[in-house]
A = this chain, B = another copy of it.
């Protein structure tokens, strides 16, 4: 038996923190008109990208993003020991058809919009544990495939509620290695399901906020860190309403994160100009913000230590139709430029 790396209830401290040696992001047109447009590797002209369906387009976006991330690391797909990936579509076909031809041993994940932190957590632990030299963590989402699956066919032209979020079209991929000079994944706090009874599928932010607050609070308890240890605490994707609730819950527990707290769903769109209501969502949102903006700021040194928390709403249209509330989950990952 090896030394335990556990800290407190839900956190592990990596013994040999893996480096993020490369990232890539590909996003849709609307995302490419938003405030983070200069950070993405590629911006698409339309939602189909030459494919016949949105689902096939989503798979292509994920595939090309993974290839781009591996290529940017000056490596080949065959060097990757594992890929951890998932998406929002039924049976995760965005991922399975996306990586079908890549011939990389594959662990399929489902964590709804928490999937980027889930894939990053598992990839980092698998490398730290000595099972892999290189691993890819990736997720995708697509506004059009998500709308028709979870809400209404786009052709229906239904009105969106003010609390609703806009699913990002895009993907992000991260290549992790046991070699490298950072940014390092150093701590991982894995969330448990929290469900306070919210049933409104047009208010995912409120449903996920208690889970986000729970994981963030537990992270500080487990590690002994304080909010000011971080340059940025960024959730994905609570958007406006969920972010405020999360801040409130934490404030009531004596934990003030307002100075460094923001959300990927608020960063990726200019809500007023782009009419995205509460903000962005979808696993592609936090993935593209991490792989684009956050990675850039970390490698440039304008951010040195961040807490990345991806949040998921683990419901389905079937569970909502059966009167169930929305279980939330959030996983947190510490990424920093220096060790020790």
Contact = CB atoms under 8 A, between A and B. Distances in A.
Contacts of A149: 318
Report the contact-size class of chain A (Cβ under 8 Å from the partner). Answer: 35 or more
A27 B149 CA distance: 31
A220 interface: no
Contact of A110 (B97, B110, B179): B110
Contacts of A110: 86, 91-92, 108-110
Given A86-B110, A97-B319, A133 B4 contact: yes
A42 to B, nearest CB: 24
A314 B92 contact: yes
Copies of the polypeptide in the assembly: 2
A88 B102 CA distance: 24
Interface in A81-115: 81-82, 86, 88-93, 96-97, 99-100, 102-112
A3 interface: yes
Contacts of A16: 1-2
A81 B4 CA distance: 12
Contact of A132 (B6, B81, B327): B6
Given A16-B1, A128-B129, A319 B93 contact: yes
A131 interface: yes
A314 B1 contact: no
Contact of A12 (B10, B91, B131, B317): B131
A195 interface: yes
A122 interface: yes
A131 B125 contact: yes
